[in-house]
Structure 1
Amino acid sequence: MPALRTRSHAIVSASAVIVTLLVAGCASQRQPMPEIAPPPAPAPRATPAPAAPKPVRVEVRPTAPTRYVVQKGDTLWDLSKRFLYNPWSWPEIWYANPQIKNPHWIYPGDVLTLYYVNGQPRVSVTGGPRVTGISTIVLKPGVQYEKLPSAEHPIPIQTIRPFLIHPRVVPVEQMLKAPHVVGSSEDRILFGNGDQVYVRGLPAKPKSSVYSLYRPGAVLRSPKTGRIIAHEVTYLGDIRIIHDGPVATGVLEKVTRAVHPGDRLLPYAKKDLNYTFMPQAPKVKLDGQIISLFNAISMVAQYQVVVLDIGTQQGVRKGDVVALEQHGRLIQDDNASPGESRSVRLPNSRSGVAMVFRAFDHISYALVMSSIRPIEIGDVATNP
């Protein structure tokens, strides 16, 4: 992944990368209301815990430097690829120096040293201003200004921040339990900024007075069971509850699309959420598929977002790196030996690598970090 340029004294995070956020949109025509999917079938009997994946294999590149000075503009993903074949194995080799301040961060000027302990590779900060305590000062006449350090991002924040603020796919269980707009005191079916509307389904003592409004759209099904696991949703705006009760009263705010009866209320996204990501290998054996694409009709590539049919219930964590594979084609082997089937399924082929940046119970969002060929719905998501 190409390095991202920042201002001077950029900070490169070895154990975390901070990501920020933003939003927008507008329209106002009424559209047919989609139906909310019926409750899912009763959960099947408990199944054994998923098998543990193979141990993370740390492969150091033959060209990996034994000593490297961090440069301005370096990113975590860049540094990982400089030392390793698999960037998600970085946590396995990184050794945080306890004798220096902020040992989990890497700064321009830090000297990284690759060495081995009992045959296992390690990387640690062994030199630079933070270790020696001696910094380089350029003497100039007059006043010298120094900019505050800024964090490096190994991924394009503008790509994922809309998904961090407002979900685009919501688990079906959450949509079924969500409160909904029932109407207003006036005989209207379209509502906008400043309108008072009535809401049913809120808890007796809500934890917050502000919610976000969403409209359910297409349903997403598990490719394995056919069960509905999620709804695609459209963000409409926010609502502030001014009177509690079985039928509560709310005022619409920041409306980007006309609100209808039946639109759902979901928790308001806080602006101080943790947006730190550390690429890592999954801890469990993964068996998932891509079930939806964003901002694309049939295919996506690097730095686009996909939805996987696996989530926290299947052991997926934020930061997990998954391999994306295309199903092997079924071909006819005209040279098959006697007794062999003429029909042959070719092995799956790697199409790219993605990193999970938001995980729900049974689904997760992942950003494609690299792609070898176009990535499509139905591609397999497995351990890298």
Structure 2
Amino acid sequence: MAHVTAAAWAVVTLAASLAAAPVQAQNYPITPAQRATAEQVAVGGIPLSELAPDAPDNYTVKSGDTLWGISGMFLKSPWRWPELWGMNMEQIRNPHRIYPGQQLYLEKADGLARLRMGQAPVGAPTQTVKVSPRTRIAGLPDTSIPTLPPGAIEPFLEEGIIVGEGELEAAPRLVAGQDNRVLLTRGDRAYARGRNGAPLVERDPRQIDAYRVFRNARPLKDPGTGAVLGYEAQYLGVAELVRSESVQTVKSREGKDEPVTVPATVDIVMAKEEMRVGDRLMRQPPRQLMSYVPRAPKADTAGSIISVYGNAVALAGQNYVVAINRGTQDGLEPGHVLAIQKAGRRVVDRSQANERTELKLPDERNGVMMVFRTFDKVSYALVLEILEPISIGDHFTAPR
């Protein structure tokens, strides 16, 4: 059976049997390979050996659940939702919706399992996962549970940025603080100049002009080749443009009129760290509400972890963000799930008295991460599961 992937959508899977409910479901992509796998399973079911050994007998979806977490309850690999979907395609018309209160049960017979919706009939095989549909009305706020814990990725989408060489240095910069302040934080007013002497964009009174503030774009290098893949800028906070940069005419000491630059005025509205003169401003992009469909990459993918996001952080644990040395030019997309490998230790074989052979123990799988933001040569991934802390230089592969 093909091991098609897509995290927590095991539950999306489970749940979205809102065939009769007038809900406007999101149009998440279902690839031909995923549908083919689901159709294959729909014919004969899924072997019991593919179910998680500790899958609950009954489960009702609760507020606060995530698709990734629920998927892991039922399948050995939580991103293999197409197989679970295929267990009951006639009832689960939309594999991308699941809501608190839904119930589901697994019908098990002849070594195979099939997904059923609603209440389990009397005398049905044990190990029943329940998920009963709930009436929904179009136009109500979307209360479907998320793929991953809320807040695990969204704050980072405002922060993490990879820039090209010299790009940050060419960006607008802070030139002074009010009342000669050296360090700036939330609530402070500051002054800024546009890139290369050009004024900051003219302020639009109909909208808020927000800029993210960065410092110290440090190079991210490929551990194998040493090539610089991009520059990771340190995120400091957000400033709002109050007045645009301008030019005023003033009298010189000789009494002559001469033009003088008046820097733009900005207010610091959010500060993760204190800011100072020389820090750079980059316009805040429109907020993107992304939905991730966890899945395995189409092709074999391998690479290394090149950075752990955060100042002076060398090790990463669950829910940490790491940078990897593969990006869009390598075919990576948001939602791709990757297996983290822990390098095997170098040891000496002392099993024989007269022989000492140096060995390298096999690499062992250490966890799973999901790509959520991609650049040309670098991507950021969220660590979803981990056995031991991750170090810079650890490898990753496509999950199997």
In the superposition, the TM-score normalised over structure 1's length comes to 0.64
Q: Of residues 150, 160, 163 in structure 2, which corresponds to 1:157?
A: 150
Task: Give the letter aligned to residue 171 of structure 2.
Answer: P
Unaligned runs of 5+ in 1: 1-11, 17-54, 135-146
Please give the root-mean-square deviation of Cα atoms over the aligned residues, in Å: 4.7
Aligned identity (percent) is 29
Segment drifting more, 85-94 vs 289-298: 289-298
Q: Do structure 1's residue 14 and structure 2's residue 12 form an aligned pair?
A: yes
In the TM superposition, what whole-angstrom CA distance separates every residue of 1:112-137 from its partner, at most 9, and x where no partner exists?
55799xx9987575777649x79xxx
Structure-2 residue corresponding to 1:51: none
Q: Of residues 327, 331, 340 in structure 2, which corresponds to 1:315?
A: 331
1:378: how far off? 0.9
Q: Of residues 378, 381, 384 in structure 1, which corresponds to 2:393?
A: 378
Do 1:242 and 1:251's aligned partners in 2 also have CA atoms closer than 8 Å?
yes
Q: Do structure 1's residue 306 and structure 2's residue 322 form an aligned pair?
A: yes
1:190: how far off? 4.7
Q: Do structure 1's residue 72 and structure 2's residue 62 form an aligned pair?
A: yes
1:316: how far off? 1.5
Structure-2 residue corresponding to 1:237: 238
1:380: how far off? 0.5
Do 1:170 and 1:231's aligned partners in 2 also have CA atoms closer than 8 Å?
yes
Task: Give the letter aligned to residue 155 of structure 1.
Answer: L
Give the alignment of 1:169-318 within 5 angstroms. Answer: 169-173=161-165, 175-176=167-168, 178-181=170-173, 183=175, 190=182, 193-201=188-196, 209-228=209-228, 229-240=230-241, 242-243=243-244, 249-254=263-268, 256=271, 257-261=274-278, 263-271=279-287, 273-295=288-310, 297-318=313-334
Q: Of residues 358, 367, 385 in structure 2, which corresponds to 1:352?
A: 367
Task: Give the letter aligned to residue 236 of structure 2.
Answer: Y
1:199: how far off? 1.0
SS at match of 1:313: helix
1:153: how far off? 3.8
Structure-1 residue corresponding to 2:76: 85
1:213, 1:220 → 2: CA distance?
20
Do 1:171 and 1:360's aligned partners in 2 also have CA atoms closer than 8 Å?
no
Aligned length, in residue pairs: 315
1:335: how far off? 5.7
1:242: how far off? 4.7
1:174: how far off? 8.0
1:110, 1:377 → 2: CA distance?
42
1:207: how far off? 11
Task: Give the letter aligned to residue 259 of structure 1.
Answer: R
Segment drifting more, 308-317 vs 119-128: 119-128
| Greater gyration radius | 2
Query: Which has the higher relative contact order, 1 or 2, with Cα contacts under 8 A spaced 6 or more apart?
Result: 1
In the TM superposition, what whole-angstrom CA distance separates every residue of 1:280-328 from its partner, at most 9, and x where no partner exists?
1122222221112235733222222222222222122212111111222
In the TM superposition, what whole-angstrom CA distance separates every residue of 1:233-256 from its partner, at most 9, and x where no partner exists?
132432428547999953212253
1:158: how far off? 3.5
2:181, 2:103 → 1: CA distance?
62
1:207, 1:86 → 2: CA distance?
50
Do 2:194 and 2:200's aligned partners in 1 also have CA atoms closer than 8 Å?
no
In the superposition, the TM-score normalised over structure 2's length comes to 0.62
Structure-2 residue corresponding to 1:48: none
2:267, 2:177 → 1: CA distance?
17
Task: Give the letter aligned to residue 252 of structure 1.
Answer: V
1:215: how far off? 1.0
Change beyond 3 A, Cα 1:324–1:342: same
1:87: how far off? 0.8
Do 1:319 and 1:355's aligned partners in 2 also have CA atoms closer than 8 Å?
yes
SS at match of 1:86: coil
SS at match of 1:162: helix
1:241, 1:13 → 2: CA distance?
47
Change beyond 3 A, Cα 1:194–1:354: same
Unaligned runs of 5+ in 2: 1-9, 15-35, 39-45, 120-130, 248-260
1:154, 1:13 → 2: CA distance?
9
1:311, 1:250 → 2: CA distance?
36
Give the alignment of 1:109-188 within 5 angstroms. Answer: 109-111=102-104, 123=115, 125=117, 130=133, 150-167=143-160, 169-173=161-165, 175-176=167-168, 178-181=170-173, 183=175
